[in-house]
Each structure stands twice: as structure tokens, then as C-alpha cells.
Amino acid sequence: MPNSKKFFNDLSSIVDETLDGLARASNGKLRLLDSHRAVIVSAMPDHKVGLLIGGGSGHEPLFAGYVGKNLADAAVAGNIFAAPTPDIIVEATQAIDKGAGVLYLYGNYAGDNMNFDIAAEMASEMNILIKTVRIWDDVASAALDHITDRRGIAGDLFVVKVAGGAAALLGSLDEVYRVASKARDNTRSIGVAAAAGTFPETGKPTFELPDDEMEIGMGLHGEPGVSRSKMMTADAVANDMVSRILSDLPFQAGDEVCVLVNDLGSTSSAELLIIYRRVDQILHQRGLKIHDTLIGSYCTSQEMAGFSISLLKLDDELRKYYDLPVDSLALVKG
């Protein structure tokens, strides 16, 4: 689909207008900061640990769609596929620091790491306590013994949900850091792409893939995956992807998990449900217990055709924070 088939105004104002729309849709619950690149909750209690998420834009509703009750307190947005700049991160950090410090939670990419680190140094000079948890849930992006080289993809959502709950209930940054790290360590994901999205500013597809092929492990920006093949049936793709996830943590009989089947852009709800059907069959065969299931567009790459599967393994502590009701643009749980 050519770039011209997207509904935008000025290409250079995509991110600002997206966040403006989001703040308006919140009916007063969220507000924009001066840079127009950060969204924060309108009312934040004193002494609460701040939870700041963010990254490059282009993956909507990630990240700003997860700012809200018992979720993140703020999200910062870079340009499309580019990590946010340090000034914006600092602006949001100051806005949500209530004296208890701020946890930075984001996907593990070179650009994000460096920009958030620069911001953390700047915030420290302002005497704001900062801790950082980088999310590296994509099992396709590096071997397990190089886990800190892995990319962060849709599993971000699980970590944000647990960390949001922890930040709401726990008073100390160290404790929130500990729980968020545990949620990160218990999360695994993998994606598959069948067709590229287009990068709006250039109108070019983010990768090339022959008409009858797909690629398992493809990243959110078109980063290469682990296995390119002819298109497979829904069940066969799910089998392959789930087995890569299960063996990685590893997940075992008796484990209790949350499952996310996430559309990367233009994969239909029907396809996601058909994929979920097979995931559910496999997990039950393996003796896992499914605590919660999310199916939909949570973390995208423009109109990429494809999806990702994420699993979060719960323990009593994680379940407690996961189960808190949440309310944001893209995630509501009663």
C-alpha cells in the first residue's frame, strides 16, 4: 500500500497530532507536556514512584496507549522508529517525579538505551532518582546466553502492566524496579511478518518479502528474523512460534501464564483468533494454565501483516500486580 493511502496531515506533525488526539480522547485523564512529545496522567498522587515508558513512534497504540490508571504515569514518543531525545525524557521525568523517583521502562534498542541513559544522567544531576529496566522479550533476536542483546517487542505490554501495578502499590523505587525486572525476566515473545508496513516519511516498505513468503522472528522495524519460508498454515506457524517460546524460559507443566496474540498492523481479528485457538491447544497439551488472554492490536509496525505471540509466566506476586484493574486508551480491565 503506497504511503499516500494513509490519513495524515503534515508528515512532520504525525507524532504531535497523534498524542494530541490521545490526550483529547482521554476526556481529561491525560495531558500533553510542552514539547508535545510526552503524555502524562493528569492526576498523580504525591510520593508515588513514577513509571515512564516510551520509545520510537510508529508502533501505536504502544507506548502512549498504556498511560493511565495502574499503568504508566507518562509516555515519551520519539519520531517514527527513532528513540525519543533526552530533553523530552527529562521533561517527562520531572513532571512525574513526586520525590520517590522514576522507573524508566522501555524496549532494548541501541538508540533507546543511549537516549534514556543520557536523560538519566541529566535527571540525576537534578537529584531525581532513576532506575532503568530494559525489555528484551524477543526470543528470535539473540541466543539466550546473550539475552541482553535481545529486542523488546509486544511483551512490553505485560511488563508495563505488572510494573504499573507495582508502581501503584509499592512505595519504593527499588521494589518497583525489582518487580518490573522479574516481569521482564518472565516474559517471552516472537513475531512473524508476511508483508511490510511503509515508513511514512519515505513511503518505502520497511523490508522486502516475496509474495508467497513469511519470516518468523521479524522485528518491529523490519529487523531480520530467524526463519524465512513459504507461507504456512495458521496452525503450523503457531506450532513453530510457540515451541520457540516455550523452550526458552523454559515454561513448564503447571506454570500459570498470560497470553498475548498481537496484530502487527493489518492482520485481522479472525486470524488472531485462529492463531490463539492453536496456542490454547498447545498450552493445554503442555499442562500450562492460562490466567488471562489478550488478543488485538497492541504493538504494531504501521500496516505490517503479521502478528506476535507473548507469554508472561506468573507467580503470586506478579499475579497480584497483573490483576489490578487498569484504564488507558488501549488497555482496559475491570
Binding site for Mg ion (CB under 5 A): 81-82
Q: Does 117 bind another protein (CB under 8 A)?
A: yes
Total interface residues for another protein by CB under 8 A: 32
Q: Does 200 bind ligand ADP (CB under 6 A)?
A: no
Give the C-alpha separation, 206 to 43, whole Å.
39
CB of 147 to a second copy, least distance (A): 28
Segment contacting another protein (CB under 8 A): 160-168, 181-189, 197-205, 266-274?
197-205
| Peptide linkage before 63 cis (omega within 30 of 0) | yes
Q: Does 148 bind ligand ADP (CB under 6 A)?
A: no
What is the grid cell recorded at 328?
488507558
What is the grid cell recorded at 315?
507467580
DSSP letters for 96-123? H--SS-EEEEEE--HHHHHHHHHHHHHH
DSSP letters for 237-303? HHHHHHHHHHTTTT--TT-EEEEEEEE-BS--HHHHHHHHHHHHHHHHHTT-EEEEEEEE-SS-BTB
What is the grid cell recorded at 59?
508502533
Segment contacting another protein (CB under 8 A): 66-74, 83-91, 154-162, 232-240?
83-91
Q: Looking at 80, 82, 130, 214, which residue binds ligand ADP (CB under 6 A)? A: 82
CB of 152 to ligand ADP, least distance (A): 13
The answer to whether the CB of 51 falls within 8 A of the CB of 103 is yes
* Longest CA pairwise span in the chain (Å): 55
What is the grid cell recorded at 313?
509466566
Encoded one letter per residue, x for contact with another protein by CB under 8 A and - for no contact, window 155-194 reads ----------------------------------------
CB of 120 to another protein, least distance (A): 12
Q: Does 80 bind ligand ADP (CB under 6 A)?
A: no
- Smaller CB separation from another protein, 115 or 181: 115
- Smaller CB separation from another protein, 202 or 252: 202
Judged by beta carbon distances under 5 to 8 A according to partner kind, the member of Mg ion, another protein, a second copy, none in contact with residue 224 is another protein
135: nearest Cα among 181, 76, 102: 181
Strands (E), 148-286: 187-195, 198-199, 204-205, 213-216, 227-230, 256-263
Instruction: Give the CA distances from residue 184 to residues 117, 177, 249, in Å, rounded to whole numbers and listed in that order.
Output: 19, 10, 11
Q: Looking at 111, 201, 229, 271, which residue binds ligand ADP (CB under 6 A)? A: 111
Q: Which residues bind a second copy (CB under 8 A)?
A: 1-2, 4-9, 14-15, 17-22, 24-25, 27, 57-58, 60-61, 65, 194-195, 211-212, 214, 231, 233-235, 237, 263, 265-277, 280, 290, 292-293, 295-297, 300, 302-303, 305, 307, 325, 327, 329-330, 332-334
Q: Annotated active-site positions, please? A: 59, 221
* C-alpha gyration radius of the chain: 19
Looking at beta carbons, which residue is closest to ligand ADP? 111
What is the grid cell recorded at 283?
498450552
Q: Which residues bind ligand ADP (CB under 6 A)?
A: 81-83, 110-111
